[in-house]
Amino acid sequence: MLADALEHLVRGIVGHPDDVQVTSKTLRRGALLEVRVHPDDLGRVIGRAGRTAKALRTVIGALAGGKAVRVDLVDVDRR
């Protein structure tokens, strides 16, 4: 559910919505949501001084209901 919500939010921000991929992994400390975007869109998702990324993390944290969730942003070229 969190991965779907994050993917929906990110697709609305980026210029290449088809390149958005959100993967979910379960770790000891909680969930990890990894967002992969087109290299041209990485700046849009991060935002000025990281404000957009922080807002995305805040929304996903609120949706998680107190559970530990980490959101990582990665461009498509990195693996």
Q: In the block, which residue shows the tokens 């980490």?
A: 70
Q: Is residue 45 a contact partner of residue 13, using CB atoms and an 8 Å limit? A: yes
Residues 6+ apart with CB under 8 A from 14: 20, 37, 38, 41, 44, 45
The residue-averaged pLDDT of 23-35 equals 92
> What is the per-residue pLDDT across 37-54, written as a single tens digit (0 to 9) for each?
999 999 999 999 999 999
Beta bridge partners of 23: 34
The model carries a pTM of 0.87
